[in-house]
Chain A
Amino acid sequence: MINEASEKSLYLPRPVKLIEVETLARKEKLFRLQLEDGNVLDHSPGQFVEVSVLGIGEAPISIASSPTRGPVFELGVRVVGSVTQALHRLRPGNTLGIRGPFGNGFPIPELEGRDLLFVAGGIGLCPLRSMIQYALDKRHQFGKVILLYGCRQPVERLFRQELREWRERDDIVLLESVDRCPADIAWEGSVGVITTLFPSLDVEANRTVAMVVGPPVMYRYVVAECLKKGMAKENILLSLERRMKCGMGFCGHCQIDNTYVCLEGPVFSYARLAQLNEVEL
Chain B
Amino acid sequence: MEILATSKTQFQLSLDRMIDESVVYGAKPKAIAYEFDRLFSVDELRLDYDIALLSPNKYFLPPKTPLLEFKLDPQVSVETMVDAQPGIIIGIHPYDMHALKLLDAVFLDNLRDINYQTRRQAITIVGVDCLQPWQYSFAASMGTALPPDNFDLWLTDLGNEYLIEVGSEKGERLCRRYFKVSDTGEAQVRKREKLREDSLSHYKLSLDISPEEIPELLDTEWNSPMWEELGQKCFSCASCTMVCPTCICFDVRDKMELSQLAGVRYRRWDSCMFDAFAKVASGENFRPTGTDRLRHRLYRKGKYMLERWGELGCVGCGRCVHACLVDIASPVYAYNRLAREAKTR
| Contact of B308 (CB < 8 Å), options: A10, A56, A216, A258 | A258
A180 to chain B, nearest CB (A): 20
B280 CB-CB contact with A under 8 Å: yes
Interface residues of A (CB under 8 A from B): 1-13, 15, 54-59, 80-81, 84, 95, 97, 215-216, 241-243, 245-246, 248-253, 255-258, 277-278
- Taking a contact as CB atoms under 8 Å apart, the answer to whether B114 and A10 are in contact is yes
Q: What are 20 inter-chain pairs, A to B, with CB distance below 8 A?
A: A2-B122, A5-B114, A5-B118, A15-B76, A54-B263, A55-B263, A56-B254, A57-B265, A241-B282, A243-B279, A245-B251, A246-B250, A248-B111, A250-B107, A250-B113, A251-B249, A251-B252, A257-B299, A258-B299, A277-B222
| Contact of A10 (CB < 8 Å), options: B113, B250, B287 | B113
A201 and B287 alpha carbons, distance in the complex (Å):
35
Closest to A50 in B: B252
Residues of B within 8 A of A3 (CB): 81-83
- Taking a contact as CB atoms under 8 Å apart, the answer to whether A250 and B106 are in contact is yes
What is the size, in residues, of chain B's interface with A at 8 Å between Cβ atoms? 56
A144 to chain B, nearest CB (A): 31
B199 CB-CB contact with A under 8 Å: no
- Taking a contact as CB atoms under 8 Å apart, the answer to whether A242 and B280 are in contact is yes
Name B270-329 residues within 8 Å CB distance of A: 270, 272, 277-282, 284, 286-287, 292, 296, 299-300, 303-304, 307-308
- Given A2-B83, A2-B122, A250-B248; 10 other pairs, CB 8 A cutoff: A1-B83, A5-B82, A13-B78, A54-B265, A57-B265, A215-B282, A253-B251, A258-B307, A278-B292, A278-B296
- Taking a contact as CB atoms under 8 Å apart, the answer to whether B252 and A55 are in contact is no
- Taking a contact as CB atoms under 8 Å apart, the answer to whether B80 and A242 are in contact is no
Residues of A within 8 A of B287 (CB): 278
A3 and B81 alpha carbons, distance in the complex (Å):
7
A9 and B267 alpha carbons, distance in the complex (Å):
12
Name B245-275 residues within 8 Å CB distance of A: 248-254, 256, 260, 263, 265, 267, 270, 272
- Taking a contact as CB atoms under 8 Å apart, the answer to whether A252 and B254 are in contact is no
B84 CB-CB contact with A under 8 Å: yes
Residues of B within 8 A of A6 (CB): 114, 118
A246 and B118 alpha carbons, distance in the complex (Å):
19
A249 and B254 alpha carbons, distance in the complex (Å):
20
